[in-house]
Amino acid sequence: MRFSHFFSLSVSRFFVSLFIFWSTLAYGQNTANPPIQLALIEGMSGPFANTGEAVLRNLVWAVERVNARGGVTTSEGKRLLVLNRYDSKGQSEEALTSLRSAIDAGAQYIFQGNSSANASALIDAIQKHNDREPNKRVVFLNYAAVDPALTQEKCNFWHFRFDAHADMRMTALMQVLKQDTKLKSVYLIGQDYSFGQSVLKEAKQQLEKLRPDVQILAEELHPMGRVKDFLPYASKIKASGAQAVITGNWGNDLSLLVKAAKDVGFEGKFYTFYGNSLGAPAAIGDAGVGKVLAVAEWMPNVPGADSLKLYQSFKQRFDKPSEDYLHLRMQLMMEALAQAIEKAGKSDPLAVAFQLEKADVSLGGQRGRMRAQDHQFQQPLVVAMMAKQGTAEVPFDVEGSGYGFRVIKQFKASEVELPSTCKMNRPN
């Protein structure tokens, strides 16, 4: 079947909310049914704008794939998905303002992830809204806010997380770290908010359990998104004599940190959550080869024909090196939503939420399932080491930097699944 694709983007980095309209129309398709409204609330300006834009590309592509097959099938017939973009500027108050705008515009499904603090605020606001206006309920799909509390003590029926939370990521990293018998000292550093704090807490707990012989020389939190010069922090890291750094930093806070560490001559390892992320490999350069580790649900050099095919399709859609960052979990998230809508037979958020609890989806050789108890997605994780592109193990780099990540260990979903203390209140 031949499809005609229409994509229009209204861009203004200076307004509170930005709007993106996308639809795919099949020739001869009945378009009488209204589209299902999705809203992305994310920082599209400010210090983490590049990460917001990366999310946007991933969600646009995910929506395109669903719409290219005619949309989702409901009892009313086929319905397309429409994605609207709102700029939170990385701030909780702006995120809440965007939420109100999105709901007023008819959004039923809210997407956010690049801040656990913003996610927490949205969870509370969505619960209050859904209680107050049951005929205008919304569901929150979280792709990157990984503070464990969001699916533990703050677990909420309307919130679904599709990324591994911080403790799960740390579990994978520590399984690699504990094999590094030469490692005797570490420096802990992170962003001073709920996520960064939880990373340092879990690192200490797991080190005590798995590697009590490793000395924690220092632990430090810094303002999130406000540090322009990390040289003072990097100097302290080098002066401490630490053999490795453990950090959950992301975005520019990671890129600037590792660049500063390189500049001061730090030669230790970096055990990171996001060392493979935008800007980081290019900033690190040769100094990171064999020293920077990262953990994710997927990376481009994960072996397998299905993985390769999916990544090549993404690169065809976004062919600029600066746009080269595929989040497989976001693709699985959109597939889970489409699956849930079709099983519910309608877009009603309550009915869809009950189906999302049972989501079980596969794409690119990766399978994930939603755990109903706490709405924490369970999927495999991978730990990889920074390396130069060009070997059989590293055919792909990151952003045209010449550096990619060599997979050193893959974990089954069951190997990184952790128990939950969630006691969820469910709608009647």
372 and 387: one domain?
no
What lies within 8 Å, CB to CB, of 109 at 6+ separation is 36, 37, 38, 39, 138, 139, 141, 337, 349
- Does 252 reside within a domain? yes
Provide the token pair at 15.
């307004």
Residue tagged 């300006």 (tokens): 45
316 and 333: one domain?
yes
DSSP letter for 35, please: P
Over residues 231-272, the pLDDT tens digits come to 999 999 999 999 999 999 988 899 899 889 989 999 999 999
- Does 423 reside within a domain? no
245 and 342: one domain?
no
151 and 207: one domain?
no
- End-to-end CA gap in the chain: 43
Over residues 177-186, the pLDDT tens digits come to 999 999 999 9
Q: Which CATH number does the domain housing residue 334 bear?
A: 3.40.50.2300
> What pTM, to 2 d.p., does this model score?
0.90
Domain residue limits at 268: 167-296+380-416
Per-residue model confidence (pLDDT) at position 103: 98
280 and 187: one domain?
yes
39 and 150: one domain?
yes
More confident call, 6 vs 47: 47
What lies within 8 Å, CB to CB, of 280 at 6+ separation is 254, 255, 258, 272, 274, 292, 398
In order of 40, 250, 415, the CA distances from 159 in angstroms are 14, 23, 24
- Does 421 reside within a domain? no
- Does 422 reside within a domain? no
40 and 158: one domain?
yes
Domain count, the chain: 2
Residue 181 CB neighbours (<10 A): 8
402 and 253: one domain?
yes
240 and 137: one domain?
no
Per-residue model confidence (pLDDT) at position 228: 94
- Give 10's pLDDT tier (boundaries 50, 70, 90): very low
- Does 9 reside within a domain? yes
317 and 368: one domain?
yes
Please state whether beta strands 244-247 and 269-272 pair in parallel, antiparallel, or not at all (unpaired): parallel
Question: Half-sphere exposure of residue 129, counting CA atoms within 13 Å on the CB side?
Answer: 24
- Does 395 reside within a domain? yes
Per-residue model confidence (pLDDT) at position 284: 81
pLDDT over 70 (residue 72): yes
- Whose CA is closest to 145, among 128, 181, 126, 121? 121
Over residues 397-412, the pLDDT tens digits come to 998 999 999 999 999 9
Are the CB atoms for 21 and 10 separated by under 8 Å? yes
- Give 92's pLDDT tier (boundaries 50, 70, 90): very high
Over residues 371-391, the pLDDT tens digits come to 999 999 999 999 999 999 999
Per-residue model confidence (pLDDT) at position 14: 28
- Give 287's pLDDT tier (boundaries 50, 70, 90): confident
- Does 427 reside within a domain? no
Radius of gyration of the chain (CA): 21
Per-residue model confidence (pLDDT) at position 26: 38
65 and 187: one domain?
no
- Give 194's pLDDT tier (boundaries 50, 70, 90): confident
Per-residue model confidence (pLDDT) at position 28: 36
pLDDT over 90 (residue 6): no
113 and 152: one domain?
yes
Look over the chain and give the mean of its residue pLDDT values, rounded to a whole number.
Answer: 91
- Does 424 reside within a domain? no
Over residues 137-172, the pLDDT tens digits come to 999 999 999 999 999 999 999 999 999 999 999 999
Q: Reduce the DSSP state of residue 388 to 3 states and report it.
A: strand
